[in-house]
Amino acid sequence: MGYADSVRKIPAAAVSTVGADMLSRLLRVDSGLTIRLRLSARTLPDIRSANVLGEIRGWEKPEEIVLVGGHLDSWDKGTGAHDDASGCVQAIEVLHLVKRLGIRPRRTIRAVMFMNEENGMRGGLGYAQDSNRAGETHVALIESDRGGFAPRGFTLDADSLVLQKVRSWEPLFEPLNAGRFVRGYSGVDISSMVKKGVPGFGLLVEAHRYFDYHHSANDTIDKVNPRELEIGAVVEALLCLLISERGL
């Protein structure tokens, strides 16, 4: 929900797809069903929070940054395992994999865990503002926020020349069954920087089960397959290294 300052705020509630399916089943049994909805949420004063960053500096072009990230906060009903602890873990694992392989990237690879995606994306907006003040140059932005499921490729928010170049890399991703690069939305937290012209990539996953968990009490760690989560991190690491070494 969003309001203009001049508009009086009214109560509002969000129903997950899991909850909506349950209501649908109940209505089929009793078409005269009524429910009582108790709203106890409050909007509290803003407090200072922070994104979490880590990076491996590039050896030749450290000033050029390849960003990979997810968001730290979650919907209050679950623990946020798929939305979006999985994206945060994958971003950390990208750096871990690069270190384990002993690779020194040509450009800086930075992992960012954004705060406040669910309620105003202030982490993403704050990161973009801080980066602008610091005069940083980002060459690519990669986000994982579709759940920790098996990767299938990336949605790409960039011009046709970038799309043509990354599609030439598709054979490198095929052994992981993740060689699909298609136009599409890249992610909430990186969106303000994508609008300024930085190419954005969203990890594309096998998400048929995502809305069994999304914004519900079902979104817990036991629903995440470790192997699928790890393959997603490998795919992101491969993309980061390709962009780091070859540019866009």
Catalytic residues: 117
Give the whole-angstrom CA distance, residue 51 versus residue 131: 12
Q: Nearest CA to 217 among 17, 61, 69, 33?
A: 17
Would you say 236 and 68 are in contact if contact means Cβ atoms under 8 Å apart? yes
**What angle separates helix 226-246 from helix 86-100, to the nearest 10 degrees?**
60
| Contact yes or no for 156/237 (Cβ under 8 A) | no
Report the alpha-carbon angle 154-190-185, nearest 5. Answer: 40
3-state secondary structure of 241: helix
Residues 139 and 236: their CA atoms lie apart, in Å, by 15
Eight-state DSSP code of residue 203? E
Cβ atoms of residues 162 and 239 within 8 Å = no
Q: Which two tokens stand for residue 139?
A: 């060459």
Cβ(122)–Cβ(133) below 8 Å: no
